[in-house]
Structure 1
Amino acid sequence: MTPRQWAVVALAALLVALAAFALARVPWHRAPAPRADQLDALGRLDAAKVARGRAFHAELRPARYASMAIGLIAALVLGLTPAGARLVELAGDHWLSRAVLGGLLVVFVTELVTLPIAIWRHTVVARYGISTQSWGGWAIDLLKSYAVGAVLGAIVLAGFFTVTHFAPDWWWAFGAAGVAGLVVLLSFVLPVLVEPIFNRFTPMPEGSLRADLLALAERDGVPVRDVLVADASRRTKAVNAYVSGLGPTRRIVVYDTMLTEATPGEVVSVAAHELGHAKDNDVATGTIMGALGTAAAVIALYLLGSWTALLDRAGVDSIAEPRAIGLLLAISTLAGLIAGPAQAFVSRRVEARADTHALDLTGDPETFESMQRRLGTVNLADPDPPQWEHAVFASHPSTVQRMAAARAYARGVR
């Protein structure tokens, strides 16, 4: 068979494997959250706080859609016109400098055009009191994110175009294997290398809460290396906790804001939810699905590269040359927008399962409900957002859905 025929077979195999793995690992059932319980929960929330949360999201909504629209337009202009290829050419004549420097230049331009939207968003978040950052601190964090993105982007661009340069017929196979391996590697190293760039982590002081969290993890059969406190208060008033890392890098992380805003029982309830992700290997599941998906995407790009009309619009001869980086960006941006609702749907199912795990582990639906109420009010969530918007964007069940699920659990509904 020709390399193209092998690519078709490989793409089909990856898609079948991804579908089979998702069917086996994603909890497709929906946790019970009766609408009557949702409406009752909504009615019991502080009306002023609900109104403030909805006003907050109403002000953020234009920024979200404007950022998506501007980012998409910029990607399409750079990818479906010769503008992207000409931008890459500014990096010089050598293929590697075009791949790395030219690629980063294209990405930087798309980030730059959406920067005013990011500034607008920070203005709103600061005005509502969620952000505690000065403009200087916000700018430093933005530069840090650019730096991290540049390092990772340079590695990906150099690796990808090295393969396309030296293996022009079979780059799709090497590229698919490479990006899949990179996804797995980053799942292990990002919590250790990247998280400390943005936050300072200190061990939680010895005491009853630390002991309760470690005992909870032991009872759940989830080994954790440590319990850490993140200095989130230097940038936000939002509360949160999570379990980070895989295997030997796993640790429970609690925002310092949560220690001041929530009761110890509520902290334990959130930790139980996060331990549910570890218990069910949700990070590993997401990593494997991400590896299969990105590998399939590389092969799809290879097959799409034979579309002459697309290459002509971009002013390039091949999708495997650095001058086609703008075209690759346009395709990936469109693919991300299309795949977003499906990813959100899967995430909501996974989060609902972790909620059920927390209820089973603690046996305390009342504290779980009070924690959801606190998370919603402190973080200025819209407790019952528009259904279509929730379906398209939400990665978690809504506040009232989670409260209703706790009430159903308390009644013995499983």
Structure 2
Amino acid sequence: MRKWLTVSVLIYFLYGLFVYWYIYMGADSTLPAQFQGGSADPNTFMNSRELTLSQDYSKLRDFMFFTAAPFEWFIFFVVLVTGFAKKMQRWAESISRFFILQTAVFVFALSLLVTLCAFPLEWLRYKISLSYHITTQTFSGWMKDQLIDFWVNCAFMVLIVAVLYGLIRKFSRKWWLFAWILSVPFSLFLMFIQPVLIDPLYNEFTPLKNKELETKILAIAEEANIPADHVFEVNMSEKTNALNAYVTGIGDNSRIVLWDTTLNKLSEDEILFIMAHEMGHYVMKHIYIGIGGYLVLTLLGLYMINRLMNFSIRRYGHILKLDGKKQLASLPLLLMLLGMLSFASDPFSNIISRHQEKDADLYAIEMTENTEAAVSTFQELTRAGLSQVNPPALVKVFRYSHPTILERINYLEEWGSGREE
């Protein structure tokens, strides 16, 4: 046990050193010469203080992103090799003979342990975001959201784990296939209820007060065949200075939502461009393509998890303190493998997402025909979020589900130039 813990700590430390070297010394985020002095050059729309803050904040945020995910895997690994997962299972079994109650106790204990271990890192993220004036949320407000997150995630985890391990116990070889079949209606159900049940737990949604703007947005929505009678605004200025707008939900529960920070910082033309972009996703069925892609990845992921769990327990079961995958004590192994596979799949899902975001940008510019507003929107998004215009390659590959600001401004200006010709 000591040997494996020592090796895992050493690997994590060396990985952290590599990430630090790459982010702070090895990565290149300079703007190519042909774009310097243009609309995408942050020197043309950000002052010296904003430029410095943007570089510093982006590096901190990227470093914490790359080191946080493996830290959670490390927690699960420690829980397994120390035998703590087995002890939690025995404790859960001693409390009740009913499997659903055993699952609830085990999931609660594991979730609480992981949350407490990860809390210092989450608190550090909050403090960094607060110090750079991205977050405006009070500590009490932040803690409230953390508690809501914990209980909502825990409730869903109990349900999912109970079904998952019920299937594993009944269909040891094909559980992953039955789990995937059940995930289809469950995913659609979550997307349907999220706008009306889950999102309001975190924020208060009210009809857009600016009725003139709402009329213009709904006119675009009608052209896009989006079944919306109202535009909602949400008071995010209590939590952040960042900007956002989105179309969420499916069917009759579709909602068009604007953050009040977006309303306060952008002009009407810029807001209309953003809303046209979000509606572009709806028109081009990106939400359904996303669901389809998610389900394909889920199927592959569950199959791979089954194979990897079988191999890990067969080969290293004595180290992981596991006798088989049917016991609740194997849940940390399942979650660790899930995290690793999700992280490994991010570059592929991000490629598809970036392609869709570009299509939505081009749809929006064709709808609004206002290149100046489109470019100034991305400039303001960069300032508000202290984002990098041209992030390092690995950061873009793993983190960017949208094209970089450099890419977005560049192809929008190319569209405007082509139209003038």
Q: TM-score, normalised by structure 2?
A: 0.84
Distance 1:194 1:161 in 2: 26
Bigger shift: residues 336-345 or 297-306: 297-306
Q: Give the drift of 1:187.
A: 1.7
Deviation digits for residues 201-226 of structure 1, max 9, x if unmatched? Answer: 00113532111100111123333242
Distance 2:164 2:125 in 1: 34
Corresponding residue number in structure 1 for 2:102: 98
Deviation digits for residues 312-362 of structure 1, max 9, x if unmatched? Answer: 432222213212111111211211221122222222121111111111111
Corresponding residue number in structure 2 for 1:240: 244
Distance 2:391 2:143 in 1: 31
Kept in 1, the 8 Å contact 2:69–2:339? The answer is: no
Corresponding residue number in structure 2 for 1:30: none
Corresponding residue number in structure 2 for 1:27: none
Q: Give the drift of 1:45.
A: 2.4
Bigger shift: residues 337-346 or 299-308: 299-308
Q: Give the drift of 1:52.
A: 1.9
Deviation digits for residues 81-103 of structure 1, max 9, x if unmatched? Answer: 63323333332244433333213
Corresponding residue number in structure 1 for 2:363: 357
Aligned Cα root-mean-square deviation (Å): 2.3
Bigger shift: residues 346-355 or 160-169: 160-169
Distance 2:142 2:195 in 1: 21
Kindly indicate whether residue 136 of structure 2 is the aligned counterpart of residue 132 of structure 1: yes
Distance 1:232 1:106 in 2: 31
Deviation digits for residues 44-65 of structure 1, max 9, x if unmatched? Answer: 2224223221122223334323
Corresponding residue number in structure 1 for 2:16: none
Match among 361, 384, 388 for residue 390 of structure 2? 384
Corresponding residue number in structure 2 for 1:60: 61
Compared with structure 1, are the counterparts of its residues 89 and 300 closer, same or farther at alpha carbon in structure 2 (3 Å cutoff)?
Answer: same
Higher RCO (CA < 8 A, seq sep 6+): 1
Kept in 1, the 8 Å contact 2:86–2:321? The answer is: yes
Q: Secondary structure at the match of 2:243?
A: coil
Pairing 1:5-404 to 2, within 5 Å after superposition: 36-37=34-35, 40=38, 41-42=40-41, 43-48=43-48, 49-79=50-80, 82-93=83-94, 94=97, 95-168=99-172, 170-205=174-209, 207-307=211-311, 308-404=314-410
Deviation digits for residues 10-30 of structure 1, max 9, x if unmatched? Answer: xxxxxxxxxxxxxxxxxxxxx
Kept in 2, the 8 Å contact 1:98–1:323? The answer is: no
Q: Give the counterpart letter for 2:114 in structure 1.
A: T
Kept in 2, the 8 Å contact 1:282–1:350? The answer is: yes
Distance 1:207 1:304 in 2: 55
Distance 1:196 1:391 in 2: 32
Distance 2:262 2:173 in 1: 54
Extract unaligned runs of 5+ from structure 1.
1-33
Distance 2:329 2:106 in 1: 8
Compared with structure 1, are the counterparts of its residues 218 and 157 closer, same or farther at alpha carbon in structure 2 (3 Å cutoff)?
Answer: same
Q: Give the drift of 1:249.
A: 1.1
Q: Give the drift of 1:36.
A: 3.0
Q: Give the drift of 1:35.
A: 7.7
Distance 1:172 1:401 in 2: 40
Compared with structure 1, are the counterparts of its residues 292 and 310 closer, same or farther at alpha carbon in structure 2 (3 Å cutoff)?
Answer: farther
Compared with structure 1, are the counterparts of its residues 354 and 383 closer, same or farther at alpha carbon in structure 2 (3 Å cutoff)?
Answer: same
Distance 2:174 2:286 in 1: 33
Bigger shift: residues 143-152 or 332-341: 332-341
Distance 2:52 2:173 in 1: 58
Percent identical among aligned pairs is 23
Deviation digits for residues 87-132 of structure 1, max 9, x if unmatched? Answer: 3333224443333321332233222212101111111111111211
Q: Give the counterpart letter for 1:257 in structure 2.
A: T
**Deviation >6 Å, runs of 4+:** none
Extract unaligned runs of 5+ from structure 2.
1-31
Bigger shift: residues 280-289 or 115-124: 280-289
| Equivalent residues, number | 382
Bigger shift: residues 100-109 or 370-379: 100-109
Corresponding residue number in structure 1 for 2:13: none
Q: Secondary structure at the match of 1:242?
A: strand
Q: Give the drift of 1:363.
A: 1.3
Distance 1:313 1:350 in 2: 44
